Amino acid sequence: MTARLKILAINGSERDGNTADVLRHAAEAAEQRGVDFETVDLRNTWMERCGPCGDCNDRPVACELADGVPGVVRKMVDADGIIFAAPVHGFGTSSLMQTFIERAGVGYLRFDRPLSNKVAGVISVARRYSAGEVWAQLTVNALLNRMIVVGSGFPATVHALHRGDALKDDEGLKNVTRLVHRMADMMQLLDDHRRLTGEDNLLPSGEVNERVGLALNETGASA
């Protein structure tokens, strides 16, 4: 039996509120496409902040902080697609999401870019302002990790203030639905290609570690 494709959503909200409601809507859209959907709520994930060691740009191995981040990273690596979803706080992304992209990116993902060629989608939730800025920040983070970012037409930005308001933003939710369908289309296309060719490396990754000044061996791994 063929395994179902899977989307993993990273919820950067501190509350079970509008962002969670939007992701529940996304999960319903995924189920319509026969795609498994799992949400990781960062509010329930033990995350240390980046420590004082200061050797992130020099170390050739993963971060040594013992928290829940590597477990989330493993889930991301196992998924076919990843949604980054966060509310706007203080005209920027939520502190939970910012901590996660710093810890995961610097501590684990930068060494061999294990998210390369996975499908990415981005959702931001805002009362009114900076939805586009947060959407753009998370999109650039996906591109940094060499993911395949799909569009939904208009960006999947949802406007809400009080709990439950997100479910009243019909246009925003429509864009979220479009995003999930586009992700499902691309994931299926890549999976069909993988099955047809028998190759896991669908697209060439080239140099996997772009850190300036770090010695790399001929395979592109840290020396």
Does some domain include residue 175? yes
Write the DSSP symbol of residue 222: B
- Each residue's pLDDT tens digit, 144-196: 999 999 988 999 999 999 999 999 999 999 999 999 999 999 999 999 988 88
Position 211 in a domain: no
222 domain-assigned: no
Instruction: Record the pTM.
Output: 0.91
- Domain membership of residue 214 (yes or no) is no
Residue 129 lies in a domain: yes
212 domain residue, yes or no: no
Domain presence at residue 218: no
- Extract the tokens encoding 153: 């037409």
Question: What tens digit of pLDDT does each residue of 20-54 get?
Answer: 999 999 999 999 999 999 999 999 999 988 877 77
Number of domains in the chain: 1
CATH number, position 120: 3.40.50.360
- Asked whether residue 48 is assigned to any structural domain, the reply reads yes
Q: Quote the strand ranges of the chain, DSSP E.
A: 6-11, 36-41, 81-89, 92-93, 119-126, 148-149, 156-159
What's the domain range around 30? 6-197
pLDDT number for residue 139: 97
